[in-house]
Structure 1
Amino acid sequence: MKNPTLPHHEVVVVGGGQAGLSISHGLKAEGIEHVVFEKHRAMHVWRTQRWDNFCLVTPNWQCALPGHPYRGDDPHGFMKREEIVQYLDAFRAHVDAPLREGVAVELVKPLPEGGFLVRSSEGECTAQQVVVASGGYHEPIVPRLAERLPAQVVQLHSAQYRNAAQLPPGKVLVVGSGQSGAQIAEDLHLAGREVVLAVGDAPRCARFYRGRDVVDWLADMGYYEMPVGQHPLREGVRDNTNHYVTGRDGGRDIDLRRFAIEGMQLYGALTGLDVDGATLRFAPRLREVLDQADRTYNGINASIDRYIDEQRLQAPPASVYEPVWQPAEERETLSLTGAGITSVLWCIGFAPDFRWLDAPVFNGRGHPVHDRGITRVPGLYFIGLPWLHTWGSGRFSGVARDAAFVVQRVTELRSTKVRTTVAPNALVDLAVV
């Protein structure tokens, strides 16, 4: 497999975020030679694609990267952006990975004789195995209708948003109500900006219920241990939008209905732009999506109620959320100029971009097909994707377990390669050659 004219590595890890460094941690423990290529700087996304008031939506105790659990004095709090970066920088120092920053991987391709060709911005090499740890959120999604909005309207993706002062005076249209959209809408609202929110199908959940953080209850109930194959939606859960909630100011619910009472204007999902280029169109489903989000909210709480009853636990009384506001009508159009909208924030997510990976491991939508990160191509793995194995796979809470599993498979395949390249009964060092 080796090309004597090219540098060779036992394992190439693509991506220097928490997933890639978690793999490096495990490979070092096994004594497996490897290199980690990072296109930018380690933990690039956490440094550059989070707004000023960003904080975790899961409690700090869930930060459990391998060999680096949260050790602060506020396990049930929510680290802010700078604290998260400090935690991750300490993890980087702890791992001390063979990391090459500023190296963009341009091609990974299986070789006919086994192993892989890896082409990067610093040249070519070969690898016995490759772990893709670059995540699944690469290309900011902005719809084509954005091209037709008036030139004077400032447009940003959520990855570019930092704070309210970044935007010109006037109303702000936030498109999307997932975790980023709901929290950015709240950030603008608390800053005194007039916000129009195009509400999508994202569900919501309570921050605290019956005396505890909902995350604590769900952890006790085993939800975070549930593998994707046992989830009612099976692999379909990977396409789900995350529940909106916040850890801001110690944590609280995000209730879009209450925002409406306080002056935020809610519409259904944005569906189009009239030919005049100035009139937006929205789906007449605002009441429906708000009601569905509340059903999810109450359904999660009801599952906690059942758990408390089954375990005969002492807890404050149960409750059911009742809507504090209902839309008087379904508004389907909005004039940008008439409403005074000067900014649009696109909070509708990211698309994967694995064009550099030339291997038959993708479905029709460009998502990798795998079983717990293991692909059909021997020696090619993924890590750090949402629901790779459990809910925590794309978060600080579950990546350590995923990394340990992938490293185990790397080690097993490496041992197999060793056995198949050594003559029977030969008294030699069993190092991969």
Structure 2
Amino acid sequence: MPIEKPIETIDTLVVGAGQAGVAASEHLGANGIPHLVLERDRIAERWRSGRWDSLVANGPAWHDRFPGLEFSDTDPDGFASKERVADYFVDYAKRIDAPIRCGVEVRAVERNLGGPGFRVETSEGVIEAINVVAATGAFQHPVIPPVVPPGAPFTQIHSFDYRNPDQLPEGAVMVVGAGSSGAQIAEELMGAGRRVYLSVGPHDRPPRAYRSRDYCWWLGVLGLWDVEALEPGKEHVTIAVSGAQGGHTVDFRRFAAQGMTLVGRTEGYKDGVLSFAPDLADNIAHGDAYYLSMLEQADAWIVRNGMDLPEEPEAHVIGPAPDCVTDPILALDLAEAGVTSIVWATGYSRDYSWLKVDAFDEQGAPKHQRGVSSEPGIYFLGLPWQSRRGSTFIWGVWHDAKHVADHIATQRSYRQYRSRAERRAESA
């Protein structure tokens, strides 16, 4: 008979070794909490294999990092490549001696019946843990809206699978989604000589930098990183910002002037024709309004604080709307336009199917307060707006991880409490 493998036990099990998992390990270790981090692939794998080749961080190196380690080989005002970011987390994990076990998949987490903690089924056996931290984030599965049927005569890929222009067949490309990913991919394709159509939905369009300070710096001094909740109606608004080519402001008017054709939000498909909502002008105008409001807030802050920063009057100039905005295309025959590929930069869905506990609402979203879930002993990290605007950014998840680890430490101290009578009995 085969020998049954003994069940491994640990106080806290962290699932995922991306930026959230590494941050959790640091703070759990600082609290003296025995823990283990399981990762089904490599540390920070999504940075390596879930991004296109030319991707860089969207924030400068002085900002997009953990407090305890700088990017030693990247200019502080530069933007680290995706591979460098992944290497950074590998280096950080070594620096803190994080107990990470790679190549182990977590398949199911269930509460122990009649005992504390959880039973965790993994590809390497069973682990029992008092606490489980889901550090997998909220972006597990690429989402392609069911607009164009899979059998249509076009190559269709999600931005998750896009790598570079040479990957796509010759011909024009339709990019759907104009957040950071869609805008950067569309610009790269245009730079490679492709004819590009870009479907632009509602978005916020911040300045990359203004008056010698990066957008990330302005969000900090203006207190906007610490905003705790989205404005009503902004739940699905994307941010168009780029660190590519040394960092520059995403400017859809400039894209159009260089030959890109902008269209509105993609609505439907029939007989080879894509249809678009008549909302392009409104979407561009709202993005411009966000951009100008950031400049105004920055100007007011400079005056209020008596800072001597160089003025940029030209930054306030919004050029004329291009023809594709004033006379928008509402339907496009893809074959006639020479479109052979569609890149869907349309986001991701969450997947916590492995977490079989009462910690989710009717829509499957985690029920939590700053990562402390409604199910005692279950914690989340890497969620959008987990505690504030900065939660999904590298530095933001580090601070959220500290709150979660401190909560685990507090609960652990309660579990370790012994009454006077219990102490007497134990010492007898």
Q: Above 0.5 in TM-score?
A: yes
Structure-2 residue corresponding to 1:111: 112
Amino acid aligned to 1:146: V
Structure-2 residue corresponding to 1:304: 298
Q: 1:297: how far off?
A: 0.6
- Indicate whether 1:125 and 2:127 are aligned: yes
Identity, in percent, stands at 36
Structure-2 residue corresponding to 1:382: 380
Q: 1:423: how far off?
A: 5.1
Structure-1 residue corresponding to 2:309: 315
C-alpha distance 422-247 of structure 1, shift in aligned 2 (>3 A): farther
- Indicate whether 1:41 and 2:39 are aligned: no
Separation in structure 1 between the aligned mates of residue 67 and residue 425 of structure 2, nearest angstrom:
36
Amino acid aligned to 1:15: G
Per-residue CA deviation, residues 259-307 of structure 1 (Å, 9 max, x unaligned), is: 1111111110111112x2x111111111110011101111111111111
Trace 1:9-408 onto structure 2 (pairs within 5 A): 9-65=10-66, 67-72=68-73, 74-112=75-113, 113-148=115-150, 150=152, 152-224=153-225, 226-228=226-228, 231=229, 233=231, 239-274=235-270, 276=271, 278-317=272-311, 319=313, 320-326=316-322, 327-408=325-406
Secondary structure in 2 matching 1:146:
coil
CA contact (8 A) 2:43 2:89 kept: no
For structure 2, the 5+ residue unaligned runs are none
C-alpha distance 338-422 of structure 1, shift in aligned 2 (>3 A): farther
Separation in structure 1 between the aligned mates of residue 87 and residue 336 of structure 2, nearest angstrom:
45
CA contact (8 A) 1:9 1:33 kept: yes
Separation in structure 2 between the aligned mates of residue 315 and residue 245 of structure 1, nearest angstrom:
23
CA contact (8 A) 1:40 1:102 kept: yes
CA contact (8 A) 1:298 1:321 kept: no
Separation in structure 2 between the aligned mates of residue 38 and residue 86 of structure 1, nearest angstrom:
16
Separation in structure 1 between the aligned mates of residue 162 and residue 94 of structure 2, nearest angstrom:
29
CA RMSD of aligned residues (A): 2.1
C-alpha distance 73-17 of structure 1, shift in aligned 2 (>3 A): closer
Secondary structure in 2 matching 1:144:
coil
Q: 1:72: how far off?
A: 4.2
Q: 1:408: how far off?
A: 0.7
Amino acid aligned to 1:137: F
Amino acid aligned to 2:388: T
Q: Segments of 4+ in structure 1 off by > 6 A?
A: none
Secondary structure in 2 matching 1:11:
strand
Secondary structure in 1 matching 2:326:
coil
Separation in structure 2 between the aligned mates of residue 30 and residue 259 of structure 1, nearest angstrom:
50
Amino acid aligned to 1:101: C
CA contact (8 A) 2:200 2:283 kept: yes
Q: 1:233: how far off?
A: 2.3
C-alpha distance 244-426 of structure 1, shift in aligned 2 (>3 A): farther
C-alpha distance 317-80 of structure 1, shift in aligned 2 (>3 A): same
Which range is displaced more, 301-310 or 320-329? Answer: 320-329
CA contact (8 A) 1:22 1:66 kept: no
Secondary structure in 2 matching 1:118:
strand
Per-residue CA deviation, residues 61-93 of structure 1 (Å, 9 max, x unaligned), is: 113325323344511111122222222221122
Separation in structure 1 between the aligned mates of residue 236 and residue 318 of structure 2, nearest angstrom:
25
Per-residue CA deviation, residues 372-422 of structure 1 (Å, 9 max, x unaligned), is: 111111111111112211222211111221111111111111111111599
Per-residue CA deviation, residues 107-139 of structure 1 (Å, 9 max, x unaligned), is: 112234331111112222211111110111001
Amino acid aligned to 1:394: T
Q: 1:241: how far off?
A: 3.6
CA contact (8 A) 2:139 2:349 kept: yes
Separation in structure 2 between the aligned mates of residue 200 and residue 421 of structure 1, nearest angstrom:
60
Amino acid aligned to 1:344: I
Separation in structure 1 between the aligned mates of residue 140 and residue 420 of structure 2, nearest angstrom:
42
Separation in structure 2 between the aligned mates of residue 24 and residue 161 of structure 1, nearest angstrom:
31
Per-residue CA deviation, residues 5-63 of structure 1 (Å, 9 max, x unaligned), is: 63211111111111111111122222222111112221110010111111111111113
TM-score by length of 1: 0.91
Structure-2 residue corresponding to 1:425: 423
Separation in structure 2 between the aligned mates of residue 227 and residue 44 of structure 1, nearest angstrom:
30
Separation in structure 1 between the aligned mates of residue 297 and residue 34 of structure 2, nearest angstrom:
47
Separation in structure 2 between the aligned mates of residue 408 and residue 250 of structure 1, nearest angstrom:
38
CA contact (8 A) 2:158 2:344 kept: yes
The number of aligned residues is 418
TM-score by length of 2: 0.92
Q: 1:252: how far off?
A: 0.8
Separation in structure 2 between the aligned mates of residue 233 and residue 379 of structure 1, nearest angstrom:
31
Separation in structure 2 between the aligned mates of residue 83 and residue 422 of structure 1, nearest angstrom:
54
Separation in structure 2 between the aligned mates of residue 232 and residue 260 of structure 1, nearest angstrom:
30
Amino acid aligned to 2:118: F
Per-residue CA deviation, residues 189-230 of structure 1 (Å, 9 max, x unaligned), is: 111111011111121111121232222222222222x151xx
CA contact (8 A) 1:207 1:253 kept: yes
Amino acid aligned to 1:312: G
